[in-house]
Every structure is written in structure tokens, then in C-alpha cells.
């Protein structure tokens, strides 16, 4: 007999207390997180730019898995303004550099799932996944139990990435973020 489900209680806390339950008609989940008024350290926002931002993936494949996305909900690449497109891809580049500096991966997956059929969990708000990878980064838990083991708490991942973000002069903890 194998274990089909693993307990991951922090996810429920995030959904109910941090992100808040998405309210239909009030914007996408990501827009609601940005508008929540909660500190970035609670919502795991790593960086805020004029039209785009970076947030930790709460269902990560590995530590350092982040999402880069426009501030407004856009479902397709064609829906981006020229300014959003430019900032999105520049932010992806900066995100990859930050994740590489912090985690020193041997490779990187960067990708976009457009539409539910392509695997998008939030199809109304496109987001670019940035995932650090290492040779042999799957183990028996992934292949036998279809589960991943993350080596550090999500709060630590957030702190490392915020502190290493290009242009960060003051650690996030000192800024009160």
C-alpha cells in the first residue's frame, strides 16, 4: 500500500489567511494578493515592478521555484501591452540571475502554460515559471510516491531571494517588507 496524499498544512493557511479566498469578480488570485495590503513577507512577493512582479510558487517543484507575471490579469501573450511585455521578459532575466546566484543550479526551466489544457492552474493570469534544476533532482519520493521533498521552509526561500534581488541595498527584514 502506498501513501496517496501528504500533509501540507501551510498551503491551507496561505489560501485562507494570506492570499484570502479569491472573490469572483474582484480580479484574479494574483491581483487579489497584490491588493491585499499584506506585507510581501506574508504573501511571498519577491519583487514589485511598475507593471510586473515576482512571487514564490506555493506549489513548487523545488526551492527557488518562482512566478513572474504582469500585475494585471492577462490570459495570453497577445494581451500584454508593449510595456508589460518588455518588463515581463526583463524581469524573467533578472529572476533567473537571482535564482542562479542563490541556489547555484545546474540548469533552469523557464516556461509559460497558456490555458487550462496546457496545464495553467490560473489560466486567466499568465505567469512565467522559473524553476532551478540539478542533475538527479528527482528521487524515490518523486518516482514512487509522486511527491517532492523541499529542503527549506518557504519563508527562508523568500528571504534568500529578496536579499539577493538585483539592486537590493537593504535586506527585506530591515525594510519591514
Please give the positions annotated as active site.
127
CA distance readout (Å), 158 to 14, 82, 102: 14, 29, 11
CA distance readout (Å), 38 to 14, 43, 167: 12, 7, 23
CA-to-CA distance for 108 and 96, rounded, in angstroms? 8
Amino acid at each position: 500500500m502506498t501513501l496517496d496524499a501528504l500533509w501540507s498544512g501551510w498551503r491551507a493557511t496561505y489560501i485562507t489567511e494570506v492570499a484570502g479566498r479569491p472573490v469572483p469578480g474582484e480580479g484574479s488570485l494574483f491581483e487579489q494578493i497584490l491588493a491585499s495590503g499584506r506585507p510581501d513577507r506574508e504573501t511571498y512577493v519577491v519583487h514589485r515592478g511598475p507593471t510586473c512582479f515576482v512571487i514564490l510558487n506555493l506549489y513548487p517543484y523545488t526551492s527557488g521555484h518562482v512566478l513572474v507575471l504582469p500585475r494585471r490579469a492577462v490570459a495570453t501573450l497577445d494581451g500584454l501591452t508593449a510595456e508589460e511585455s518588455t518588463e515581463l521578459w526583463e524581469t524573467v532575466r533578472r529572476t533567473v540571475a537571482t535564482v542562479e546566484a542563490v541556489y547555484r543550479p545546474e540548469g533552469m526551466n523557464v516556461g509559460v502554460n497558456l490555458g487550462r489544457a496546457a496545464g495553467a492552474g490560473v489560466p486567466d493570469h499568465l505567469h512565467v515559471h522559473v524553476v532551478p534544476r540539478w542533475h538527479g533532482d528527482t528521487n524515490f519520493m518523486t518516482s514512487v510516491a509522486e511527491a517532492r521533498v523541499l529542503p527549506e521552509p518557504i519563508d527562508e526561500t523568500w528571504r534568500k531571494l529578496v536579499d539577493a534581488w538585483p539592486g537590493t541595498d537593504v535586506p527585506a527584514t530591515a525594510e519591514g517588507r
